[in-house]
Amino acid sequence: MNNKKNELFAGKHIIRRMILLFTAAVLCIYSMLALNACKKNVDQGDLLNDNAIAIFYSDLSDPYDASVSEYLKKEFDAKERKYEEFNASGSADTQLEQIRQASDSRIDLMIVNIAGGSSSAADSAISLAKQKNIPIIFFGNNISDDAIASYEKCVYIGSDNDSAARLQGEMIGKYLSENFDDVDLNKDGVINYVLFRTPGGGADKGTYAAVEECNKILAAEDLPALSFYDSENSDMYLTDDTDGTNLFDTAKKLMSSLITGITHDSGNTVELVIAENDDLALGAISALKEGLEDSGNTTMIPVFGIGDTEDAKAAILDGSLTGTVRPDAVNAASVICTVADNYKNGKEKFDSVSSGNIIGESKVILPYEIYNGN
């Protein structure tokens, strides 16, 4: 009887040991795989070696980054240049860690769309590049002039907010010139507008650029200038610096509060929405749709944005967004390739770049494009 108990105990003991050994083996394999994955993130295998290019995107789900990536890959593959792409998915912290890891490898060029347009992240990226004497090309999200000037091998290729707003204003002016009477809902002979701007800080030259440009076109057509819907608002824009939600929700909340004023027979009528980016424009549209549906009114007012996001393009196709403007990603990518080649071949950094687009010593400013579905 005791022998059977001993045999049973021994059998159970062996089984437990086998389970523990199996578990330990699985954990060991998992740890080795994780270590290798981590090492690949740091070393990037054989890609980040001499003459390699490290390309850091703010968010590859964004149409602009995706278009630049498609062009750069095609060009660099054709020229047999080694490169590695990094996607920060909108996180500045993630991107900085990627840049730190890459700067420890043997790369000779960084190309960066700084995540979220963070000024502190841009400063840190420049500092890392400067420590390693690596040229750095910024594109897309704006970088301050002081940051660019802090490192002689730092370049910015992109567009500026003022030119985007002016092109938006040109688009609005042309639209109103052709549709003035239809947009003038209360028939007072003036188009009353609301301007939504991005939270944070005060107005800058780009804040009013769209209105200024639109008014120039209206004046040329002997039409009256735009009028801000609220004469008591000296800022002549709406924003919410205390709102912690996203821009879509911010604009939706602000626009919802104005819906009762869109009566088409009062002095406070809003007949036009101008937004500093597409998320603000789409938030306003959402509020308008809900408000009009609740009131039984089917009249949609024109809304204009900036950015050319995928959601904005869809809204243009369904007729709810009147138009947007977009940076020319292909043109930007082409200039990036030219500057990258110049660094590699020891030429002047802006050799073969159109002089009309060069600003100062280290910036190339490219025009935006109008997108209204046509």
Question: What is the mean pLDDT of the segment spanning 184-212?
Answer: 83
In this prediction, residue 288 carries a pLDDT of 92
Q: Using an 8 Å Cβ cutoff, are 98 and 116 in contact?
A: no
Cβ neighbour number for residue 374 with a 10 Å cutoff: 6
Q: Which of 11-15, 108-112, 269-273, 324-328 has the lowest mean pLDDT?
A: 11-15
Per-residue pLDDT reduced to its tens digit, 221-243: 999 999 999 999 999 999 886 65
Q: What is the model's pTM? A: 0.68
Per-residue pLDDT reduced to its tens digit, 309-339: 888 989 999 999 999 998 888 899 999 999 9
Residue 172 clears pLDDT 60, i.e. is over it: yes
Rama region for 343: left / alpha / beta (φ>0; ψ in -120 to 50; rest): alpha
Domains parsed from the chain with CATH numbers: 52-159+329-371 (3.40.50.2300), 162-327 (3.40.50.2300)
- Torsional sign, CA 160, 161, 167, 171: positive
Nearest alpha-carbon partner for 259 in 304, 305, 295: 295
By percentage, how much of the chain surpasses pLDDT 90?
60
Distances from the Cα of 334 to the Cα of 80, 159, 267, 329, 350, angstroms: 16, 14, 49, 9, 12
Per-residue pLDDT reduced to its tens digit, 4-20: 444 444 454 555 555 55
- DSSP class of 118: -
Total residues belonging to the chain? 374
